[in-house]
Amino acid sequence: MFLDHYGMSLSNYILNMRIEKVKELLTETDMSVAEIAQQAGFQTKSHFFTAFKKATGMTPAQYRCRQMDEASG
């Protein structure tokens, strides 16, 4: 039923919500990447990095740097 309504599984939906939270924290705070991973509910750093890179095509540090460059430029 969830899949029919949202076009994705519940687990993928939750993962997408976590990634969006991470993006927000990376751009709006100076928290460390490890703190952000924990805050977003990722159990291990390796799972966090893998999921984030798969979703965005870059590491969390690269994402933060790019967002800062775009905001200042």
pTM equals 0.86
| Mean pLDDT, rounded, for 10-31 | 95
Task: Give the helix/strand (H/E) hosting 27.
Answer: helix 10-28
Instruction: Encode pLDDT of 21-32 as tens digits.
Output: 999 999 999 999
Report how far apart, in Å, the C-alpha atoms of 69 and of each of 22, 58, 65 are. 18, 15, 6
Query: Which residue reads 């460059």 in tokens?
Result: 69
Task: Please state, in angstroms and rounded to a whole number, the distance separating the CA atoms of residues 72 and 70.
Answer: 6
For residue 2, the model assigns a pLDDT of 87
